Amino acid sequence: MSWGMLFLQTITNGLLIGAVYALIALGLNVIYGVMDFINFAHGEFIMLSMYATYFMFVLLGWDPLLSLPISMLMLFGLGAISEIFLVKPILGERMVIQVFTTYGLLLFLRNIATFFWSSTWRTLPTSYSDVVLSLGEIRISLGYALSSLVALIFTIGLYMFFKKTDTGIAIRATSQDRETAKLMGVDVNKIYMLTFGLGSACAGVAGVLLTLVYPIQPEVGEIFCVLSFVICVVGGMGNFMGAILGGFLIGLTESLAGFLVAPAYKHIIVFIVFIITLLIRPKGLMGK
């Protein structure tokens, strides 16, 4: 394989993983953008969705892509319930209280998962997750390609929802000015519940797609949590497009840094990019 081809393969890898990264971070940013609220248990929501997908596959034989709407709805429900019982009482409180509450939720969910499903690693053996497509010399895993594609469709769908529907407009209005939206007759409480549900549904979709490429375990949320914060901050906290841009940027930076410098230095370079971004644009690339 020539250097040029290796380089092209690296770019492809970066873009494919970037799409998955973007989806992981999206939910976090949707919630923060509207509610000014950070859900530290975001990674655990993804983990729960992974388990839901896994068990629907193993027990009922449902393919992850078919059971996706169910996992998404389950996570929407979980998000909405969490909003009512955990988030609403502390909304508008100091940041530290939000951190403690959702971190508590994180520990609770992680330990519940360990209790019920043990710390065993599980993998979801779909017929297509190990299939590799060849474009000339470039190789693309069907699992990654499918998850990027679904991520893209879902993101566009969510974007259209925010732009075109009345509810979407109400959500955006609330995110811009909570008081004015209230005066215009928007039921802010309902909007918050919906937003938290939607953010969690994003985690749900991310979880389903991750089962195609990643093993499942109760501690797996930890990996997603740090990553989604980095992506959101680089892209712009609370900005819809920011999460997507940040996802691709981090994915590509990792791949290129690993290829051009050395894999051992890829995280150093990612964080150099992270720091430079913050120096130039303290609110992230898309932040206002």
Partner 1 sequence: MEKLSSKEAITKIQAVVVSVIIAIAVIVAAYFAAFPPSQKPLVTEVKIGGIYPLTGAYAVLGRNDRYAIELAVDEINEAGGVKSLDGALLHIIFADSEGDPKRAADEAERLITVDGVCAIMGSILSGTTSTSAPVAERYKVPYVNEGSTSITLTEHGWEYFFRVTPHDGLYCKFTFDFLKWLAKDKGVPVKTVALLYENTLFGKTAGDVWKDLLTQPEYSEWELVADIPYDSKSLQYDTEVMELKKAQPDVVFMATYTEDSIMLQKTFHRLDFECKAFIGIDGGHITQYFVEGTGKLGDYVFAEARWSPDLKRSISQEANARFNERYGFNLDGHSARAYTAAYVLYWAIEKAGSTNPEDIKNALVNLEIAADEIIMPWDGVKFDSKGQNILGKGCIVQIINGEFRSVYPRETATFDPVFPQPSWEER
Contacting residue, 264, 280, 282, 288, with partner 1 by CB under 8 A: 264
How many CA atoms are closer than 13 Å to the CA of 22, on its beta-carbon side?
30
Contacting residue, 80, 181, 203, 257, with partner 1 by CB under 8 A: 257
> Could you give the 3-state DSSP secondary structure of residue 158?
helix
Contacts of 163 (CB under 8 A, 6+ apart): 169
Closer CB to partner 1, residue 2 or residue 282?
2
CA terminus-to-terminus distance, the chain = 44
Q: In the beta sheet, which residues pair with residue 135?
A: 138
Helix axes 3-35, 188-210, angle to 10 degrees: 160
Closer CB to partner 1, residue 125 or residue 185?
125
Is residue 75 a contact partner of residue 201, using CB atoms and an 8 Å limit? yes
**Contact between 9 and partner 1 per CB under 8 A:** yes
Contacting residue, 88, 172, 267, 283, with partner 1 by CB under 8 A: 267
**Contact between 51 and partner 1 per CB under 8 A:** no
Token digits for 65? 């892509």
Report the C-alpha gap between 211 and 147 in whole angstroms.
Answer: 10
Closer CB to partner 1, residue 28 or residue 171?
28
- Distance of closest approach, residue 155 Cβ to partner 1, in angstroms: 18
> Which residues in this chain contact partner 1 in the complex, by CB under 8 A?
1, 6, 9-10, 13-14, 17, 20-21, 119-121, 123, 125, 130, 132, 139, 141, 144, 213-215, 217, 220, 222-224, 227, 254-255, 257-259, 262-264, 266-267
